[in-house]
Amino acid sequence: MDEIRYTVTGMSCGHCVVGITEEVSQVSGVSEVSVDLPANEVTVRGTTVDDERVRAAITEAGYEVAGLATA
């Protein structure tokens, strides 16, 4: 199972969490989406996760991917 963590800017509330979760969950191969508001991170898990499509889904939700999160 793939896991990719993104740093996302513009998130500030529960509405942000719901919007990102709904959009990213629709991407083929994604089985789990976790949003951490204080850390500005979105973690995506699944099989054969398409990074480009996940980034597009986050953008479609109205937020900006600043890059990949580091440990």
We report the CATH number of the domain holding residue 38 as: 3.30.70.100
Domain tally, the chain: 1
Instruction: Give residue 71's pLDDT.
Output: 59
Which of 68, 67, 69, 32 has its CA nearest to residue 49? Answer: 32
**What is the phi-psi region of residue 48: left when phi exceeds 0, alpha when psi lies from -120 to 50, beta otherwise?**
left
Q: Average of pLDDT values for 48-69? A: 95
Q: Average of pLDDT values for 11-29? A: 96
At 70, is the pLDDT very low, low, confident or very high (cuts 50, 70, 90)?
confident
Instruction: Give residue 69's pLDDT.
Output: 87
Residue 25: give the domain boundaries.
2-68
| Among 5-9, 14-18, 53-57, 67-71, the least confident range | 67-71
**Mean pLDDT, the chain, integer:** 95
Non-local (6+) Cβ contacts of 47 within 8 A are 1, 2, 29, 31
